[in-house]
Copies of this chain bind each other. A is one copy, B any other.
């Protein structure tokens, strides 16, 4: 072992993978801090962070189980098992070797959200991530329920225009409202299309399965222009071939990579808001994300981890941390011009 830490991994305040903590203070409206300074100051080389892991502890918008507000804490806790070197890509995901152009990976803490107020929270998320993006810092968000992606997409689209969405999810999340509420975790993709944050013609949702209220649940998603990949088709596709299909769909566009943990089977991801039987196995989940090289992702998230349902093995949080790690590896490859 090349000892990368002074003490065992279970030592110290939990940041994602033990990364430096660079609180996202200024993005939250605290005048005494600035994201450039705060986030840049963590880089021993004096540079600015290239990527920030940021928690979004919001779960007001769930239709079944709540609890995702504790998702960032639990994913951070499990993530300290992650190590910097990714042997399959041959890349250092964080740490000195992960740096290109003197950049680094940090944990920027959590976005301040407003429980019970979806509208305000989405806007808080959008502002926080815009602040990061405006100084060139890519965000990997840890949810929170899936609605948090609306705030993320607002931030990213404000900088990059409509994005190609690459999403792993059991559900299309294109309902129009939920008992009158238009900002809900099952409406987030429709809102993103309506607000022109994503370009449906370059977007794809994979892992779709389960019973529906009506055929329109999926027909409407397709009518919006989204491409849906059913779980059986997904699992029958080798990860490399799936990645090629995604690259074709995305077509070089700036893209967003989202992972709703309910894309995975409940045996491997029991702790989620709306579990759906028959999903990806854990190894498949990692492989499908891992192969998505060569795409210009400008943002990432892993959402819908609900820790109260994860004890005692905490396998969902560990899986979510591992999915996030694969995303960080894609980002590292991109920074190094390798992927």
Residues on A lying within 8 angstroms of B by beta carbon are 1-4, 6-15, 21, 23, 28-30, 55, 57, 59-67, 69-70, 73, 76-77, 81-87, 90, 93, 107, 109-118, 120, 175-181, 183-184, 186, 210-218, 231, 235, 265-268, 270-271, 274-279, 281-283, 286-287, 308-315, 318-319, 322, 325
Contacts and interface: CB of A to CB of B under 8 A. Distances in A.
Contacts of A274: 81
A314 B272 CA distance: 11
B312 A87 contact: no
B283 A277 contact: yes
Q: Is the interface of A mostly helix, strand, loop or mixed?
A: loop
Nearest to A124: B7
A109 B1 contact: no
A282 B308 contact: no
28 contacts: A2-B216, A4-B213, A6-B30, A7-B179, A9-B64, A10-B64, A12-B23, A13-B15, A13-B109, A60-B115, A63-B115, A82-B211, A83-B217, A85-B211, A85-B217, A87-B212, A116-B178, A231-B283, A265-B281, A265-B282, A266-B318, A267-B281, A271-B312, A275-B318, A277-B319, A277-B322, A281-B281, A309-B314
Q: Closest 10 interchain pairs by CB?
A: A270-B313, A7-B112, A66-B66, A278-B283, A311-B311, A308-B308, A267-B268, A1-B175, A83-B211, A85-B212
Nearest to A25: B6
Given A63-B115, A278-B282, A282-B265, A83 B212 contact: yes
Nearest to A186: B1
A149 to B, nearest CB: 16
B84 A213 contact: yes
Contacts of A1: 175-178, 186, 213, 217
Nearest to A77: B73
Given A64-B81, A216-B2, A312-B310, A7 B21 contact: no
Contact of A57 (B8, B15, B29, B111): B8
A313 B266 contact: yes
A283 B276 CA distance: 10
A304 to B, nearest CB: 14
B277 A2 contact: no
B12 A14 contact: no
B211 A60 contact: no
Given A83-B213, A213-B1, A325-B211, A9 B63 contact: yes
Contacts of A286: 277-278
Given A61-B116, A115-B63, A268 B271 contact: no
A10 B73 contact: yes
B69 A67 contact: no
Contact of A308 (B62, B65, B84, B267): B65
A206 to B, nearest CB: 15
Contacts of A23: 12-13
